[in-house]
Amino acid sequence: MSQPAEVARLILPTWAGEFDLRVFQGASGEVYLLFAYGEIGDGQDLLVRLHSACLTGDAFGSLRCDCGPQLRQAMRRIVAEGRGVLLYAAGHEGRGVGLVSKLKAYMLQDEGHDTVDANRRLGLPVDSRDYREAVQVLQAAGVRSSRLLTNNPAKASALDRDGVLVESLVSLPTSPHLRNRGYVQTKAQRLGHRSPGGEPLTGDGFPNGDGEALDATVLLGEVGPRAGRPYVVLKYAQTLDGRIATSAGDSKWISGTQERRVSHALRAACDAVMVGAGTVLADDPLLTVRMLPGASPIRVVVDSTLRVPADAQVFGPDAVTIVLTSERSDPGRRAALRQRGVKVEVVREAADGIDLADGLARLLSLGVRCALIEGGSRIITSALRERLADRLVVAVAPLLLGKGTDAVGDLGASAVRDGLRLRNQTVHQLGPDLVVAGDLDWSRG
Ligand SMILES: NC(=O)c1ccc[n+]([C@@H]2O[C@H](COP(=O)([O-])OP(=O)(O)OC[C@H]3O[C@@H](n4cnc5c(N)ncnc54)[C@H](OP(=O)(O)O)[C@@H]3O)[C@@H](O)[C@H]2O)c1
């Protein structure tokens, strides 16, 4: 087998830092981008990522796979280590079947077939990647032994067999999104990948320790389509005496770090995270996923008069933001927000602000299928009063605040039996906090 030829070499500045990029072309015609960071030196014990190209995941942030977060995590790890190699195999798209076949397989997955069966139905191999040229490129760059950044033991065996010693596997789990959870599970169950979705939440929290990525999707329940709106989950953290903030509006932090990481895992699992204008004014939150690897959701702010200042962090460039507002808001302010790349949607008004049903219908029409409402009190109360939520996830911290902001306002219950109950509830211990999750039971009253 003839050696891949080096066809270009340059310094490539990236979001993660400057890499020495060497471009190789194999006898097969396939192109390999070798990103070296720091000194390769004797080539021993290098942190190595062999990344199969995934145009949809790597470049467009597709939520059907975990490729984009894996690529970015690998680059971060290599930079943090100060020495390592990312080999990007441009011809390995779709586990080697190519872009068009991968997209056709996605169409079959939409009909209910998993990633393995979809390929088979198209008469394609489940995995047709040949790692021999990639190994030749690694060897040409002086890589002798590696700590391989992968969840895929088969990739490690192939590298080992073809000549780059794999000393150990360093896993790259990503907190799953509802849209890639099935794919990630298939990779674990049918392709032998090691916990690609991170550590799953149990009643005891995360018994194997605080993994880098967490799978908290169990808290979301049976997510499915709803008539005219997304599936809606209400989530907040309260004290033992039912407060989500002090009377001065301070809520940082009611729950502990473990619980807040779970909140980020929930954001990473949903299409959108939504808050009212009051929360933005009080907390100036970013509403992104920062405490673990995972995709940030679309951020939604309900603000009927656009009173949230234009420099609020939620309008920053880290993720997409939609503002649901009413006809009462100033058209000039709407235009200024749009100018900043914020999507502004004018929906109907109601007594509490915007008409939440109309706002949620608008989100569904924009492709939001699961929305996580993270407070505050008014928006939570509106969603409950109008029966526009399916699931409740409440963290209860061992803390008393006395007077403060109630988690939930008046729901019109004069007798205990009128109260709203949860079904299918589960309880999870997260450090000092308890998390209770369940389906809202609208069957009575
Ligand atoms: N512990 C937690 O988990 C947690 C989470 C979030 C917030 N918080 C705390 O909660 C406090 C804020 O509570 P909040 O009740 O003021 O905030 P909020 O529910 O986030 O915002 C309420 C505002 O949203 C706007 N809105 C638009 N349409 C609405 C509708 N249909 N229903 C309800 N509101 C609508 C209204 O303002 P306009 O009329 O101007 O549109 C309303 O005043 C802060 O202290 C924050 O720190 C705690």
User: How far apart, in whole angstroms, are the C-alpha atoms of residue 132 and residue 129?
Assistant: 9
Residue 303: per-residue pLDDT: 98
Residues 129 and 278 in one domain: no
Asked if the peptide bond before residue 376 counts as cis, ω within 30 degrees of 0, the response is yes
Residues 252 and 193 in one domain: no
> Which CATH number goes with the domain that contains 30?
3.40.50.10990
Number of structural domains found in the chain:
2
In a domain, 206, yes or no: no
pLDDT at residue 212, as a whole number: 86
Contact by Cβ (8 Å): 126, 95: yes
User: What is the SS3 assignment for 256?
Assistant: coil
Identify the segments of the chain with pLDDT beneath 50. Answer: none
- 396 backbone dihedrals φ, ψ, rounded to 5°: -115, 120
Q: Are residues 29 and 148 in the same domain?
A: yes
User: What 3-state DSSP class applies to 221?
Assistant: coil
What's the confidence (pLDDT) of residue 445?
60
Q: 185 with 221, same domain?
A: no
Q: Is residue 203 part of a domain?
A: no
Look at residues 165, 197, 229 and tell me which one is the last residue of a structural domain.
Answer: 197
Ramachandran region of residue 95, left (φ > 0), alpha (ψ -120 to 50) or beta? left
Same domain for 243 and 185? no
pLDDT, tens digit (0-9, with 9 covering 90-100), for 278-293: 999 999 999 999 999 9
Query: Within 13 Å of residue 18, how many CA atoms lie on the same side as its CB?
Result: 5
Same domain flag for 365 and 231: yes
In this prediction, residue 126 carries a pLDDT of 87
For ligand 1, mutation pick of 238, 279, 433 (most atoms within 8 Å of CB): 279
Ligand 1 pocket by Cβ (under 6 Å): 236-237, 244-245, 249, 251, 254, 275-279, 282-283, 302-305, 307, 350, 352-354, 356, 374-379, 382, 405
pLDDT at 207: 78
Rounded Cα gap, residues 130 and 18, in angstroms:
29
**Domain range spanning residue 69?**
5-197
Tell me, yes or no, whether 272 lies in a domain: yes
Annotated catalytic residue, options 64, 129, 243, 260: 129
